Amino acid sequence: GGGMAPLAAMIPPPPPAHLSMRAEIEWLAGSADNARGVALALSSSLFIGASFIIKKKGLLMSVEKGGSSASAGGFSYLRQPVWWLGMLTMIGGESANFIAYAYAPAILVTPLGAATIAASAVFARFFLGEDMHICGIAGILLCTVGTVVLVRFAPEEAPVTSVEEVWSMAMQPVFRAYVCFVLSFTLALVYGAAPKYGKTHVVVYVAICSMIGSLSVMALRGIGIAAKLTMRGSDQLRKRETLFFILWVGCCIATQMNYLNKALDTFNTTMVSSVYYVFFTVCTVTASMIMYKDWENQTPGSIFWQVVALLVNVAGVHILSGTRDSAPGCRAGLRALLSRRKSEEKPEYTHLCACDDDAEQQQQQQQ
């Protein structure tokens, strides 16, 4: 009896009766601002999930027409209208994501990217012909449960009245140390690991995207706060801190897009998006805890359920990606999840490398 009391205290009461749909969503998210952030983040996930598929289609079309692949340093995909359609779709999704950070903390918005993984897995099944294992359905359900729990126990955003406050958070010694670590480690990956292991280990390209992405999210949240304060009558967009954040985001996104293209051109779409989700979420939540102190005023119960929700989402994403190339059936999927051996069943990057070889042979014959 007594041992169950602490756990029971962590379980929230049911919602009040006779609430409207909007009021129920606000009750679930904890506030009207969090509810707006959740709606924008989920919309963003659908757009970004679709953009993975459209851009991958453009990359494949570029290689089939004899262009150099992105993994080989080529940029022939820029001549493909389909790739640009995917880019516009991603920009739409990222725009919704950007606005979401203005209303809700990163620890709520970023993990909701699990919806991107589920969406991209479904879209890849229908538009790229990639298989989705039956265990993938369990993964999608876990992502859904994790999302609901995370939204219910999301922290409130700390009130910020000026972009100078955001700048002072960015200048904290601990966060500056985090930035230095990220930049140093990224340079080591770009010039040390990527040339040797980039085409065989998906973690290399994804780690670069994720760590740089965590810095871009911190700046994006600052820009979002500045925009929100400006709309409320306090002009923050023309301040030099806001301009620096915009420049910083531009540099980060350019780096992210370059290495994300390399990853998508080399590895399976579901694998890239799922590994990217885990790394990006961990990096962004860590950066947000350091800079914005999201957990500073939270109760132990709320933090506990936020961590549980994050782990459930990670488990769902792992099931989606881990069973991608396994044999049909739940038993085979379970063996694939528990096995540490790399799947040898026709990984997609082998097909892409074959496409590269064919393109090179065609170019040599034309010459």
Q: Where are the alpha helices (DSSP H) in 65-172?
A: 81-103, 106-109, 114-127, 135-152, 163-170
The answer to whether residues 106 and 292 touch, using CB atoms and an 8 Å cutoff, is yes
- Residue 98 is predicted with a pLDDT of 80
d(CA 336, CA 332): 6
User: Does residue 71 or residue 281 have the better pLDDT?
Assistant: 281
Length of the chain: 367
- Per the rule left: phi > 0, alpha: psi between -120 and 50, beta: everything else, 260 is alpha
pLDDT exceeds 70 at position 59: yes
Does the pLDDT at position 270 exceed 90? no
Distance CA 212, CA 299 (A): 30
pLDDT tens per residue across span 100-152 = 888 888 888 888 877 777 787 788 777 777 766 677 778 888 888 888 888 88
- The rounded distance, in Å, linking the Cα atoms of 126 and 119 is 11
- Bigger pLDDT: 2 vs 169: 169
Please provide the average confidence, as pLDDT, over all residues in the chain.
79
Reported as a single tens digit per residue, the pLDDT across 332-348 is: 667 766 664 444 334 44
pLDDT 10s digits, 196-252: 999 888 899 999 999 999 999 999 889 988 988 898 888 888 899 999 999 999 999
Tell me the CB-side half-sphere exposure of residue 342, using CA atoms within 13 A: 7
If one compares 350 and 241, the residue with the highest pLDDT of the two is 241
CA distances to 145, 235, 246, 272 from 221, rounded to whole Å, are: 26, 16, 11, 25
More confidently predicted of 30 and 355: 30
pLDDT at 129: 75
Nearest to 145 by CA among 187, 107, 100, 115: 115
| 202 close to 263: Cβ distance less than 8 angstroms | yes
Position with higher pLDDT, 320 vs 54: 54
Q: Which value, to the nearest 10 degrees, does the dihedral of the CA atoms of residues 50, 325, 275, 126 take?
A: 10
